[in-house]
Amino acid sequence: MAELEIDQSNLPRVREVCQSFAVLEDGVLAHSLQEQEIEQYYTTNIKKNQLVQNDIRIAKRMQDEEEVHLAEHSALLRQTSRQMEEQDFEYAREIQEEIQREVCQSFAVLEDGVLAHSLQEQEIEQYYTTNIKKNQLVQNDIRIAKRMQDEEEVHLAEHSALLRQTSRQMEEQDFEYAREIQEEIQRCAEEDRRRELDDEEMAKRLQEEEEGRRSRGQESPSEGACLEAEPREAGLYLGELQQVLQDEELARRLQEEEEKLMKRVSPSPPRGLYPAGDFRVAQVAQDEEIARFMQKQEMKSKRRSRELEGPGSWHEHRAMISQHDRRAARERQVQRERLDSEGLPSPTEDCFPENRPPSPVATIPSRKAQEVRNVAEELDPTFQARRQSTGNFPTGHADPSSSSLPAAQSGLHDFLEEPTFIPPTKRQTEKPARSRPKEKKEGCKQQ
């Protein structure tokens, strides 16, 4: 074979030759991979077909077994129902025979009674006809029996009259007891109304005093006069805060006395409706929330009046707020210990956001950023905390010392105006007098 002559003048470049060989190798490799994939696909299809055929055979066998089982079960049910029908028929036959036997016995007893009565009449007639003395004795016995019967009737009439008189006296006593109870209830209602009027008058007087303090704070001539009157007014506000706490304690005692009186007067509700411990805990928590809301409103109004006076009373106001928080924490601890000593579960109010101790750096901004939507507060008209914007406070005189005051005031405003978390509580419906103190407290809050 002759050697091929290579045209040395028109040879391609080495890179082009390498690229053409690489393309050919890639094509060969792709072809081999495609053939392997096709073979793998065929083998997997064969395995899947075998598995499907095996599953079909197993399903058919299981279906045949289930049909056989159902046929056996239906035959067993038919046999059982047939046996039950036979037993019921046998029981009915025995009951019918028993009834027939009892009827025959009753007829025999009646026949024996009629026969005995006829024999007795014959014997009496024979006795009357044969012996006159016996007839006289019988007549005497009849008269005695009649007289005894009359005496017994008179005795029964006297006894029935005595029973009627006794029942009438008992009815009169019951009516007297009911009248006394009604008078006691009316007296309690009068006391409640009088107490409500007193509370309304006290709330109105407190509101008038608060408005007077606000007007005096707005009419202050200059900041210097406010700074001179700061110690005396701080002492007055501290005394007012103590008076508010004393009023709260007095209201709690009055409510406890009212609950005791209602427990003595009204009947006890059925114990199956709701547990007494849960209702008492819920009621205590609800009263504490109402008192805390009223105190927050009072502190907000005092804080606004102090903002009008100037920045000098800010530290004293924070001192009073911290003292009030410590006293409220002590009262909650005492209330929790009292409930634990009585065997009742204490309300988990420490888990709520407003009862956690605030941090001076991190707590106020986080509470300001976190807006909680309280569904119970929106649905219940008793607990409606009206939010007011923090940018509506009037600015005082331009003073270098009061430059850091608005930020602290806005933070405290957010802390005080946070909506109170009200848990869903059970309300007692059997005591209608309990709704009046709630209406009274709602009226005080609206004022």
Q: What is the pLDDT of residues 110-140, one digit of tens each?
A: 999 899 988 988 888 877 777 777 777 888 8
- Specify whether the CB–CB gap between 421 and 352 falls below 8 A: yes
Secondary structure (DSSP) of 89-151: HHHHHHHHHHHHHHHHHHHHHHHHHHHHHHHHHHHHHHHHHH-HHHHHHHHHHHHHHHHHHHH
Per-residue confidence (pLDDT) for residue 65, from 0 to 100: 94
The stretches of 219-229 forming alpha helices (DSSP H) are: 223-228
Per-residue confidence (pLDDT) for residue 87, from 0 to 100: 93
d(CA 65, CA 72) in angstroms, rounded, equals 11
Taking the whole predicted model, whether its pTM rises above 0.95 is answered as no
Per-residue confidence (pLDDT) for residue 62, from 0 to 100: 93
Per-residue confidence (pLDDT) for residue 446, from 0 to 100: 53
Q: Which of 68-77, 250-259, 298-307 has the highest mean pLDDT?
A: 68-77
Name the residue type at position 405. Answer: L
Per-residue confidence (pLDDT) for residue 81, from 0 to 100: 93
Nearest to 443 by CA among 211, 252, 201: 201
Residue 68 has pLDDT above 90, yes or no: yes
Per-residue confidence (pLDDT) for residue 309, from 0 to 100: 59
pLDDT band at 406 (very low <50, low <70, confident <90, very high): very low
Per-residue confidence (pLDDT) for residue 380, from 0 to 100: 58
Domain boundaries, the chain: 20-130, 132-212, 235-262+276-356+410-417+434-447
Q: Is 286 exposed, middle or buried (0-12, 13-18, 19+ CB in 10 A)?
A: buried
Per-residue confidence (pLDDT) for residue 321, from 0 to 100: 62
Q: Which of 158-162, 214-218, 384-388, 397-401 has the highest mean pLDDT?
A: 158-162
Q: Quick check: helix, strand or coil at residue 429?
A: coil
Per-residue confidence (pLDDT) for residue 210, from 0 to 100: 85
